[in-house]
Structure 1
Amino acid sequence: MKLLAYWILILCTFISVKSYGQNPIIQDVFTADPAPIVHNDTVFLYTSHDTATVEATNYQMKDWLVFSSTDMVNWTNHGAKLSPKSFSWATGDAYAAHCIERNGKFYWYVSTFHKKNKNSNGGAAIGVAVSDSPTGPFKDAIGKALITNEMTTDNEHGWDDIDPAVFIDDDGQAYLYWGNGSCKWAKLKDNMVELDGPIHHFKPKHFIEGPWVYKRKDLYYLVYASAGTKPEMIEYCTAKSPEGPWNYQGIIMGNVPNCFTVHPGVATFKGKDYFFYHNGTLPTGGSYRRSICVDYMHYNEDGTIRKVTQTKEGVLSAE
C-alpha cells in the first residue's frame, strides 16, 4: 500500500506540473524571437526555429514557424511556412521575423543574409513575403531584399540589418523598425513592400537589437533587447510619435534563465496584455536552443510598464 501511495503521489505531481507549468508555451520544438499578432479572435505567433545540436556553439535556424491559439494556453503548430530558400537572393539562417496584416493580406518581414552578387556584397538583409492567410502559403513579395547592408552605413559590422518589426499607425502610415547596434526606421508605402522615404537611425539607451513598436492610448512604445548588462534584458522608451523623440523609461524584464539573448513580443488579447519572450529552460535547452514563454503585462496609471514577472506557470486560459 505504501508503494502504491508513493506512485500515486508521483503521478499527481506530474499532472500538476503539466497542468500549471505552461512556460515555455511550445515544448515539442525549440522556438525563439516571438512575434504575436491578433486576427479574428485568434493569436498567431510567428517564431524563429532553433535546430542547433546540444554541442553547437552558434545558431542553426533553417526556417520560420507559425503557431496559433484561441485561449493563450493551447497552441497549434502550423509548421514551417517560410525559409531563406523561399527567397532567391537569400542565404544563411532564418533570424527574427515579424508578420502583420493589412487589407486582407499578411506581410512577413524576415531577417537573413544576402548572397554576394552584383546587387550586394553580402551581409544581413531584410526581405518580405506575402500571403492571403496568416498561416500561408507565403511567397517572396518583391523578388529582392527590401533592406540590404549597403543601404545602412551607421554601423561597420555586416549584421546590423536584422530583427524587423512593423507598426501601422492610426492614420494608416506604416513604419519598419530594425537593427543591431542601432535602431533604424523608415516609412513604408501603402503597398507594404517599398520604403517611403529615407532610412533613419538612432541609439536608445542600452539598445542592442529586437525592436518592437506599438501604441497604447496616446503613447507609443519602443521595446527592445538591451546590452546594458550581459546577458541581455528588455528595456523600453516612450514617445508621442512613432518617429520619436523617444524617452527612455527603464527595464521591463531582467535576464532570462539559461540564455544569453532575449527578444520581446507584445499583444493585447480579449482585454488582457501579454508579454512574449524566450529563454533556455527546456531540457537540453540553452542560448542556441531557445523556447518561447508568455506572461502577463501590466501598466501604471501614467502609462509606464510594470516590470514583467517571469513565471513557470505562465498565463490562464483567455476563454
Structure 2
Amino acid sequence: MKEYNDCRNPVLPPNLCIPDPEAHVMPDGRVYVYGSWDQEGNHFCSREYRVISSENMIDWTDHGVSFDSSQVSWVFDDNAPKYSGSDPMATSPFMRKLMEQYAQYMTEPPPEHVPDMLFAPDAINKGGKYYLYFCMSDSSEGVAVADKPEGPFSDPVQLPCGGIDPAVFIDDDGQAYFYWGQFQANGAKLTPSMVDFEEGSIVNGLLTEEEHYFHEGSSIRKRGDIYYFVYSCMKRGKPTSLAYATSDSPLGPFQYRGIIVDNDGCDPASWNNHGSIEEVNGQWYVFYHRSSRNSQQNRRLCIEPIFFNEDGTISEVHMTSQGAGRPFSIHERIEAYRACQLTGNVYIGPSQTGRESLIGIKDRDEAVYRYVEWESPATGISIEGSGSGEILVFIDGEKDASGRVVLNNGIAVFSTFQGNSGRHEIRLQFNECSNLVIEAICFGT
C-alpha cells in the first residue's frame, strides 16, 4: 500500500499509468477507482489490476494489485465457451476509413496479440460483497468477488457474453444491470447471483456507432430520474472524447446528448479515451485518461469537475492541469508534465535526468497549462530545463506574448514577463530549439 498526495493532473506519479477509470463511492464513503494498468510501453493494459482510493480527492491510497490474469482459467482452455466480440473492420465504417488514413503513418507493426491481458474493468457493491467485472484480450468477460472494495478479488466466473469494457449498474430498486461491447453497446439484467443474465433480458444495440457515435467504454450512472450512459465517442473522428447519452430507463432507448471532455492534443499519438462520472462529496467529476510519451499507451488518470445544467445536460469541460485541485499560484513550481494541451511534436516523457519533462520539442511547438491564479500581478518567470531555445509566454489566447525567456544550454540569458492578477491559461511557444527540454516553470513577483 502506498500513499500519494495530489489533486492536480495527472493524479498519480508519472510511472503509474492507470487508464479506463471507473470511479465509485463505496459504503465506507471513499471513492475507489478501478482501471486498467499500462505496465508495458507497447501494449494496452497488462495482466494485473490495481485499485486506488481517496476520502477527499487529495490524499490517494494505492492498494496494490487487486487481481491478475493468472486466476482466469478459461483463457487457455479450448473447451471453455467462446463468445466472440465484433470485428471492427467488418462492422465499423468509421474504423475502416480511419485505419486507411492511419496506415500511412504507421512505422511499426501493431503489438502481438496476447490473449491473457486484462482490459478495462468495473466494480460494484451489493449485499456487502464487491463484484469486479473484467474482460480479457481474447474477448471473454468475467466477474470476481471480494469482501473489501480494494480486493483482492478471487473465484472468477466466466460471463455468457463476449467483447470488451464491461460496466455494471444497480438501480434504486436493487436490480443490477450489465453492459458491454465495442461499436455497439449491449445490456442485460443480472440475476441476484450477479454472475448470470436474466433470461430474455439482453438488449443489443443500446448505443450504436451510427446513431450515437459509440466506440467503446460503457459506463452507467443515475442522477435524479435520468440515466447517463458515458462512453468513448467517434463524433470528432477518433475516440478521444467521452460523450454521454440519456434515457428514462436503464435499458434505453438512449438519446445522444453531447461530449463531456476530449483528450485530443494531450499527446501527438493520443488515440482513445475511457472513463466515468461520479459524485464525490457533493461535487460531480469526470474521470478519464490522457496518453503520454508520444504513444497510444502510457495513459494517465486525470479528473475534472463537471457541471449539470437545469435540463440535466452536462457542459463540456476542457482538460486542465489543476484537475480537481486549485489553480497554481505565484511562486509555485509547475512541473512541465502537468501540461494539458500540446501542439506539434512536443510530448511528455522522461528526460536525461529521469524526470518527466517536455521533450521532442521543435520550432513552433506549444504547451498549455490550465490554470494559474495570481492574487497580485506576476512580474517574473523562471524556467528549469536544458538545451537552448526561445520560449514565448502567452496569457489567455493573446496574440502578443506577455513574456520571453531565452535558454542557452539550460541557463536563462534573457527573461522578462508581465501578467495581471487573476485566473489565467498559460501557453508556451518554443522557437529556435536545439535539444530543448523543459522540466518546470514558475512565476514570481
Q: TM-score normalised by the shorter chain: which range applies?
A: 0.7 to 0.9
Deviations 1:202-232 (A, max 9, x none): 1151001001111101111111101221252
> How far apart in 2 are the matches of 1:166 and 1:20?
28
Secondary structure of the 1:89 match is helix
**Structure with higher strand content:** 2
User: Once the 2 structures are TM-superposed, how far is the Cα of residue 83 of structure 1 from its aligned partner?
Assistant: 1.5
> How far apart in 2 are the matches of 1:88 and 1:270?
39
Secondary structure of the 1:75 match is strand
The corresponding residue for 1:119 is none
User: In the alignment, is the contact (CA less than 8 A) between 1:237 and 1:246 conserved in 2?
Assistant: yes
Deviations 1:8-31 (A, max 9, x none): xxxxxxxxxx99871011124111
1:261 aligned to 2:272?
yes
The within-5 A match list for 1:66-81 is 66-81=51-66
- Return the match for 1:45 from 33, 42, 57: 33
1:35 aligned to 2:46?
no
> How far apart in 2 are the matches of 1:20 and 1:67?
13
1:22 aligned to 2:8?
yes
Deviations 1:107-149 (A, max 9, x none): 0000104xxxxxxxxx40110000011121211243xx10343
The corresponding residue for 1:153 is none
How many corresponding residue pairs?
273
TM-score normalised to structure 1 length: 0.81
Secondary structure of the 2:59 match is coil
> How far apart in 2 are the matches of 1:302 and 1:239?
13
Distance 1:60 1:98, change over 3 A: closer
1:300 aligned to 2:315?
no
User: In the alignment, is the contact (CA less than 8 A) between 2:144 and 2:155 conserved in 1?
Assistant: yes
The corresponding residue for 2:123 is 99
The corresponding residue for 1:182 is 184
The corresponding residue for 2:355 is none
The corresponding residue for 2:426 is none
User: Once the 2 structures are TM-superposed, how far is the Cα of residue 84 of structure 1 from its aligned partner?
Assistant: 1.5
The within-5 A match list for 1:235-250 is 235-250=243-258
> How far apart in 2 are the matches of 1:254 and 1:43?
23
The corresponding residue for 1:210 is 217
User: In the alignment, is the contact (CA less than 8 A) between 2:18 and 2:299 conserved in 1?
Assistant: yes
- Return the match for 1:276 from 273, 287, 311: 287
1:223 aligned to 2:230?
yes
Deviations 1:232-274 (A, max 9, x none): 2111111111111111112222234122110021111111101
What runs of 5+ residues in structure 2 fail to find an aligned partner? 76-114, 327-445
Moved segments of 4+, more than 6 Å: 18-21
User: In the alignment, is the contact (CA less than 8 A) between 2:307 and 2:314 conserved in 1?
Assistant: yes
Secondary structure of the 1:31 match is coil
TM-score normalised to structure 2 length: 0.59
The corresponding residue for 1:165 is 167
> How far apart in 1 are the matches of 2:249 and 2:177?
11
After alignment, is 300-309 or 195-204 more displaced?
A: 195-204
Deviations 1:7-54 (A, max 9, x none): xxxxxxxxxxx998710111241111101111212111111110123x
> How far apart in 1 are the matches of 2:310 and 2:284?
15
The corresponding residue for 1:89 is 74
> How far apart in 1 are the matches of 2:193 and 2:144?
12
Distance 1:86 1:20, change over 3 A: closer
Structure possessing the higher radius of gyration over alpha carbons: 2
What runs of 5+ residues in structure 1 fail to find an aligned partner? 1-17, 114-122, 150-160
The corresponding residue for 1:63 is 48
Secondary structure of the 1:266 match is strand
The corresponding residue for 2:300 is 291
User: In the alignment, is the contact (CA less than 8 A) between 1:279 and 1:286 conserved in 2?
Assistant: no
Secondary structure of the 2:73 match is coil
> How far apart in 1 are the matches of 2:186 and 2:218?
9
- Return the match for 1:146 from 150, 159, 172: 159
> How far apart in 2 are the matches of 1:227 and 1:92?
27
User: In the alignment, is the contact (CA less than 8 A) between 2:33 and 2:51 conserved in 1?
Assistant: yes
Identity percentage of aligned residues: 36
- Return the match for 1:201 from 195, 200, 204: 204
> How far apart in 1 are the matches of 2:154 and 2:18?
22
Deviations 1:258-297 (A, max 9, x none): 221100211111111011000024xx36311110100101
> What letter corresponds to residue 312 of structure 2 in structure 1?
G
> What letter corresponds to residue 103 of structure 1 in structure 2?
G
